[in-house]
């Protein structure tokens, strides 16, 4: 019995020694990260060697040089993967990849960029129709809001009640939250949630009760529109392409035409019963303008338009 116990102890000791040797070998072979000397920034990034966030230090002040490697098939991934539903990886052997041509039949480059922005770069992305619909919805919401802001500033959108102090305060808070999120390991997900919250508050003001506005606080609305356009451009989201024919004369023609349509539509709505024939023709006009790249939005007693 004593011999058997001694044998067990010996075997256990050998296993522990082997484990220690292997651990030490892995530790010695593991590359060490030496904090570089250079210019400090307020940005922190995830370091796959230290397994934690470390300060981003630049060799040259205000100049960032970034090397992006390809897939490291011999080691764990540093960033998240795009998978299909059920955590199924896209693979040529499985014949479940999506070509660029097939993708562009349903979605745009902006939609893919938005999909990536809504998730942290170190998290995986499940590529499904439901997820893409969310990315499309957010992209459209941002685009529509910026167009509404521009229409409000130009005087083509007269509804809503703008609380200038609240809007400026929210804009300042959004700037701070977006900056902090991007400085914290480029957390675009948090940044986008801050931006979406700004749009939510702004939309509520612009479309409040659909009543004519008694305020004309265009400065706050213009500041929000300008900030959103700039930050989205930096994040790779391009604004809807405007026609090269867009100039003051063309805008005036569209304004006059839509004023006429608005008068006809109001007259049709005031009839008892409503003049459905005229209302249908007004809808047809809106559809025709849409094919020309002009989006018309009807409000209670007004209408606004924007380029697609």
Best CA proximity match to 117, nearest among 204, 223, 241, 231: 231
Which DSSP symbol is given to 119?
S
pLDDT exceeds cutoff 50 at 257? yes
Please tell me the pTM assigned to this model. Answer: 0.67
Average pLDDT over the chain, rounded to an integer: 81
DSSP 214-278: S---HHHHHHHHHHHHHHHHHTT-PPPPPPTT-SHHHHHHHHHHHHHHHHHHHHHHHSSS--HHH
Residues linked to residue 297 through DSSP beta bridges, in sequence order: 304
| Per-residue confidence (pLDDT) for residue 150, from 0 to 100 | 86
Give the whole-angstrom CA distance, residue 74 versus residue 6.
41
Mean pLDDT calculated for residue range 86-115: 84
Give the whole-angstrom CA distance, residue 96 versus residue 263.
54
- The pLDDT tens digits for 55-64 are 999 989 888 8
Instruction: Kindly state the greatest CA–CA separation across the chain.
Output: 106
pLDDT exceeds cutoff 60 at 109? yes
pLDDT exceeds cutoff 50 at 303? yes
Mean pLDDT calculated for residue range 57-84: 71
Where along the chain do its domains lie?
98-235, 245-307
Per-residue b/e over 59-92, b at no fewer than 16 CB within 10 Å? eeeeeeeeeeeeeeeeeeeeeeeebbeeeeeeee
Cα angle 196, 133, 94; round to 5? 130
Superfamily of domain 98-235: Isoleucyl-tRNA Synthetase; Domain 1 (1.10.730.10)
pLDDT exceeds cutoff 80 at 8? no
Q: Which of the four pLDDT bands, split at 50, 70 and 90, describes residue 287?
A: confident
pLDDT exceeds cutoff 90 at 172? yes
- Contact (Cβ atoms closer than 8 angstroms) between residue 189 and residue 119: yes
Q: Which of the four pLDDT bands, split at 50, 70 and 90, describes residue 242?
A: very low
Tokens of 80: 């998240």
| Per-residue confidence (pLDDT) for residue 188, from 0 to 100 | 95
For the chain, how far is it from start to end, CA to CA, in angstroms?
Answer: 87
Distances (CA, A) of 300 to 102, 182, 212, 262: 40, 40, 9, 10
- Contact (Cβ atoms closer than 8 angstroms) between residue 199 and residue 145: yes
Cα angle 244, 108, 286; round to 5? 55
pLDDT exceeds cutoff 50 at 81? yes
- Contact (Cβ atoms closer than 8 angstroms) between residue 138 and residue 114: yes
């Amino acid at each position: 019995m004593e011999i058997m116990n001694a044998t067990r102890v010996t075997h256990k000791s050998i296993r522990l020694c082997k484990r220690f040797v292997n651990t030490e070998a892995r530790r010695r072979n593991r590359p060490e990260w030496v904090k570089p000397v250079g210019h400090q920034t307020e940005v922190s990034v995830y370091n796959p060697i230290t397994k934690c966030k470390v300060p981003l230090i630049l060799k040259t002040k205000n100049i960032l040089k970034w090397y992006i490697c390809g897939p490291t098939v011999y080691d764990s991934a540093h960033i998240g993967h795009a998978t299909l539903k059920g955590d199924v990886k896209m693979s040529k052997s499985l014949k479940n990849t999506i070509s660029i041509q097939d993708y562009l039949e349903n979605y745009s480059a902006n939609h893919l960029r938005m999909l990536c922005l809504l998730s942290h770069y170190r998290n995986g992305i499940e590529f499904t129709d439901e997820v893409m619909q969310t990315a499309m919805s957010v992209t459209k919401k941002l685009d529509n809001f910026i167009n509404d802001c521009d229409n409000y500033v130009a005087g083509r959108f007269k509804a809503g009640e703008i609380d200038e102090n609240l809007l400026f305060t929210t804009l300042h808070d959004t700037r701070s939250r977006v900056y902090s999120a991007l400085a914290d390991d480029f957390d675009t997900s948090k940044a986008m949630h801050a931006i979406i919250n700004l749009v939510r508050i702004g939309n509520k003001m612009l479309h409040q009760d659909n009543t004519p506005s008694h305020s004309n606080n265009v400065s706050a609305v213009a500041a929000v529109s300008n900030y959103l356009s700039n930050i989205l451009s930096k994040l790779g989201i391009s604004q809807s392409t405007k026609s090269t024919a867009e100039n003051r004369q063309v805008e005036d023609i569209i304004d006059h035409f839509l004023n006429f349509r608005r008068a006809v539509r109001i007259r049709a709505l005031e009839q008892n019963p409503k003049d459905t024939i005229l209302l249908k023709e007004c809808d047809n006009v809106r559809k025709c303008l849409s094919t020309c790249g002009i989006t018309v939005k009807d409000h209670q007693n007004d209408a606004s338009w924007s380029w697609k």
